[in-house]
Amino acid sequence: MTEWTFDEIEEGKRTLARIKERGFPVPLDIIFGLTESFFTIVVECAVVKRFDHGPTGVEWQTLWIRRPSDDRYYPNRWHMPGKMQLPGISIPKMIERTLAREVGVAVDGSLVPKIGFFEDIGGRRGHEHQHQYFVTVPQDSEVKTEKGESHVWCNVFGAPPQPTLQPHLKLLENLRDFLRKKI
């Protein structure tokens, strides 16, 4: 990272002073530009199916979706469903939108338990605060991805598909911890 010059800092101060003078409402482009400089809120969902095998135990499978080859940030990488939070939309609503668009399932986002938090400072999308949630779907749920991406169901306690996005390995770790406490 390069150091800010004195002139750049002074220009930033003048710009902030002009914004303060003009008062509200501040154009959304300016607000988004400023907040992106600090961090982005991301909602990630571990979508899970539970299979009860009677006396042999329970198997948990989680959904992985492959990003398209033309993806701007992570082409051909496997990930769990998630989206950056949009302005004015609550996290429960983001969960609902994410699952409807990326998986094709309807849920009440206010009932979805949070299983973790991850701060990704050096990612390609900048500084992210990733809020992680646990969602169960019926065994016969049919996945309908937003853009027809390929997807797989993998045993939660097995190896994830490769290459996997690094922050999603932390989500998988948090999911495993959550399920161990639940079992």
The model's pLDDT over 55-106, given as tens digits with 9 standing for 90+, comes to 878 899 999 999 889 988 788 999 999 988 887 888 999 999 999 999 999 9
CA dist 72 and 69 (Å) reads 9
Which of 114, 128, 29, 37 has its CA nearest to residue 83? 128
Q: Is the pLDDT of residue 174 over 90?
A: yes
Q: Is the pLDDT of residue 32 over 70?
A: no
What CATH number is associated with residue 164? 3.90.79.10
Do residue 32 and residue 59 come from a single domain?
Answer: no
Radius of gyration of the chain (CA): 20
How far, CA to CA in Å, does 160 sit from each of 73, 136, 183?
20, 18, 21
Question: How many CB atoms within 10 Å of residue 160?
Answer: 20
Mean pLDDT of the chain: 86
The CB-side HSE value for 24 (13 A sphere, CA atoms) comes to 0
Beta pairing, strands 58-66 & 151-155: antiparallel
Do residue 91 and residue 65 come from a single domain?
Answer: yes
Residues of the domain holding 11: 1-38
State if pTM tops 0.85.
no
DSSP state, residue 10: H
Do residue 17 and residue 83 come from a single domain?
Answer: no
Split into its structural domains, the chain has a count of: 2
